[in-house]
Amino acid sequence: MSDFHIQLQGHDIGVTRQEENIFIVRLPEKTIHLRRKQDNEGASHWFEEGKDNETPQTEAIGTAITTWLAQHSE
C-alpha cells in the first residue's frame, strides 16, 4: 500500500493505493473505495465499490489519481 495526496476542487485529498487498481479516497464528506477498470479499447473508468457506473465525481478523482501516478512513477 502507498499513501499520497491529490488536489480536487481546492481540497487536499488523501489516497491509499490498496491494490494495483483499488484506491481508498478520503473525501471531506466520506471515504470511498475506487476501482479502476479498463474497457476493451484500453480507456480507464473509475467505479465506486459496489456501484456499476462511473460518475462525474469518480471520473474527476480517477483523473487526478492517474495524473499523480504518472508524475510519480519510477
- Helix, strand, or coil here: 70? helix
Give residue-wise pLDDT tens across range 2-58: 999 999 988 999 999 999 999 999 999 999 999 999 889 988 899 999 898 999 999
Region 63-69 average pLDDT: 95
Instruction: Give the model's confidence band at 74: pLDDT under 50 very low, under 70 low, under 90 confident, else very high.
Output: low
Identify the pLDDT of residue 15. 98
Going through 1-74 in order, the beta strands assigned E by DSSP cover 2-8, 11-19, 22-26, 31-38, 44-48
Question: In which region does residue 4 sit, left (phi positive, over 0), alpha (psi from -120 to 50) or beta (all else)?
Answer: beta
H-helix or E-strand spanning residue 65: helix 56-71
Residue 1 has pLDDT above 80, yes or no: no
Residue spans of the domains in the chain: they are 2-22+34-71
